[in-house]
Amino acid sequence: MDDRIIKTEYSEVMQKSFIDYAMSVIISRALPDVRDGLKPVQRRVLYDMYELGIRPDRPYRKSARIVGDTMGKYHPHGDSSIYEALVVLAQDFKKAQPLVDGHGNFGNIEGDGAAAMRYTEARLHKITQDAFLADLDKDVVDFTPNFDETEQEPTVLPCRFPNLLVNGSEGIAVGMATSIPPHNLAEVIDAVKAYMLDENISTRELMRYIQGPDFPTGGIVTNRDELLSIYETGVGKIKIRGRVETEKGRAGRTNVVITQIPYPMIGANIGKFLSDVAALSESKKTGDIVDISNQSSKEGIRIVIELKKDADVDHFIRMLYKKTRLEDTFGVNMLAICNGRPETMGLKQIIQASVDFQFEVNRRKYETLLEKEQARREVQEGLIKACNVIDLIIEILRGCKDRAMAKACLVDGVTDGVRFKSKESAVMAGYLRFTEKQADAILDMRLYKLIGLEIEALVKEHEETLANIYRYEDILERKSSMAQVIMNELDAIRKEFSVKRKTVIDNCEDVVFEEKKIEEMDLYCLIDRFGYCRTVDVSVFERNQEAVSAENRFFFRCKNTGRICLFTNTGQLYTVKVSDLPLGKLRDKGVPLDNVSHYDSTKERLLLAVSQSDLNLYRILFVTRQAMAKIVDGGEFDVTKKAVSATKLADQDELADVTVYKEQKNVILQSKNGYFLRFLVSEIPEKKKAAIGVRAMKLLAGDEIEAVYYTKNTDETAISYKDRTLVLNQLRAAGRDSRGTKVRG
- Distance of CA 295 to CAs 108, 116, 259, 326, 568, Å? 14, 26, 10, 17, 45
Contacts with 50 (C-beta within 8 Å, 6 or more apart), sequence order: 124, 129, 133, 136
270 three-class SS: helix
Question: Rounded distance, CA 55 to CA 101, Å?
Answer: 10
Question: Rounded distance, CA 432 to CA 30, Å?
Answer: 63
Question: Rounded distance, CA 156 to CA 32, Å?
Answer: 10
Contacts with 262 (C-beta within 8 Å, 6 or more apart), sequence order: 215, 217, 219, 240, 241, 242, 325, 326, 327, 328, 330
Residue 151 Cα to chain centre, angstroms: 34
Burial of 462 (0-12, 13-18, 19+ CB in 10 A): middle
Question: Rounded distance, CA 547 to CA 526, Å?
Answer: 11
Question: Rounded distance, CA 703 to CA 740, Å?
Answer: 13
Contacts with 217 (C-beta within 8 Å, 6 or more apart), sequence order: 93, 109, 260, 261, 262, 263, 265, 266, 301, 502
Q: Is 78 left (phi over 0), alpha (psi -120 to 50) or beta?
A: left
Q: What is the DSSP string of 457-482?
A: HHHHHHHHHHHHHHHHHHHHH-HHHH
Question: Rounded distance, CA 117 to CA 427, Å?
Answer: 74
- Say if residues 396 and 406 touch (Cβ distance below 8 Å): yes
Strands (E), 96-142: 100-103, 121-124
**Is 50 noted as a catalytic residue in this protein?**
no
Determine phi and psi for 406, rounding to 5 degrees: -65, -40
Question: Rounded distance, CA 695 to CA 736, Å?
Answer: 8
Question: Rounded distance, CA 719 to CA 608, Å?
Answer: 21
List beta partners, residue 537.
523
Contacts with 388 (C-beta within 8 Å, 6 or more apart), sequence order: none
- Distance of CA 730 to CAs 166, 709, 733, 744, Å? 89, 13, 8, 15
- Say if residues 656 and 625 touch (Cβ distance below 8 Å): yes
Q: What is the DSSP string of 37-95?
A: ---HHHHHHHHHHHHHT--TTS--EEHHHHHHHHHHHT--S-HHHHHHHHHHHH-TTT-
* Residue environment code for 659-679, b if the CB has 16+ CB neighbours within 10 A, otherwise e: bbbeebebbbbbbeebbbbbb
The number of helix segments (H) and strand segments (E) in the chain equals: 22, 35
Question: Rounded distance, CA 254 to CA 438, Å?
Answer: 84
504-505/220-221 β-pairing: parallel
Q: Spot the catalytic one: 21, 119, 366, 524.
A: 119
644 three-class SS: strand
Question: Rounded distance, CA 368 to CA 204, Å?
Answer: 38
186 three-class SS: helix
Question: What strands, in cross-sheet order, belong to the sheet with 121-124?
Answer: 61-62, 121-124, 100-103
List beta partners, residue 661.
619
Residue 677 Cα to chain centre, angstroms: 64
List beta partners, residue 337.
33, 342
Q: Which of the residues are catalytic?
A: 119
